[in-house]
Amino acid sequence: MPLRVHICAVGRLRSGPERDLLDDYLTRFDRTGRALGLGPVSVHEVEDKKGGGMATEATLLSGVIPKGAVICALDERGKLMSSPDFATMLGGWRDAGRGDLAFVIGGADGIDPTLRAQADAKLSFGKMVWPHMLARVMLSEQLYRAASILAGAPYHRV
């Protein structure tokens, strides 16, 4: 059974360079990952139109996370890991027969503590804070890189 990947994020990514990069890397991941039992990727965007803050965002995000999914929160307090370690983590969830993996990206204030506490893993892209739109692009590139590493392709070099 393939590991379906879901990017669950606050905010809508409009057309432009970030959208182009996201689409490119997700297409590459889907192509490379398919033979490895990874993917497809679905992007679920939620918007808090009433300004309810992190708690409302958490409710909206919880509504798009598939039931029983492994939850990986992107959080500045999360674990720093190398690309090969990230690939190993993805492969481990796939090999354990997990059907869905949801990466959760919060809004401007991050992820509500109650939702963050439900996460099976917390991943950080460093101590710097990144705009949530760029975090999607960085995640999509790392997903493609992980699939390339697992496939033994030359994209990733040490």
Closest CA to 73 of 112, 31, 27, 128: 112
Q: List, in sequence order, every residue forming a beta bridge with 7; answer none if it has no partner.
A: 43, 103
CB 145 within 8 A of CB 156: yes
Tokens (6 digits) for 10: 């606050």
Closest CA to 41 of 25, 26, 28: 26
Secondary structure string (H, E, C) spanning the chain: CCEEEEEEEECCCCCCHHHHHHHHHHHHHHHHHHCCCEEEEEEEEECCCCCCCHHHHHHHHHHHCCCCCEEEEEEEEEECCCHHHHHHHHHHHHHCCCCEEEEEECECCECCHHHHHHCCEEECCCCCCCCHHHHHHHHHHHHHHHHHHHHCCCCCCC
User: What's the pLDDT score for residue 155?
Assistant: 81
User: What's the pLDDT score for residue 51?
Assistant: 84
Domain-wise residue ranges, the chain: 3-151
User: What's the pLDDT score for residue 30?
Assistant: 96
Model pTM? 0.95
User: What's the pLDDT score for residue 158?
Assistant: 58
User: What's the pLDDT score for residue 156?
Assistant: 72
Dist CA 4 CA 99 (whole Å): 6
Q: Tell me the pLDDT of the chain (158 aa) as tens digits.
A: 899 999 999 999 999 999 999 999 999 999 999 999 999 999 999 998 888 899 999 999 999 999 999 999 999 899 999 999 999 999 999 999 999 999 999 998 899 999 999 999 999 999 888 888 899 999 999 999 999 999 998 887 75
Question: What class is the 3-151 domain?
Answer: alpha beta
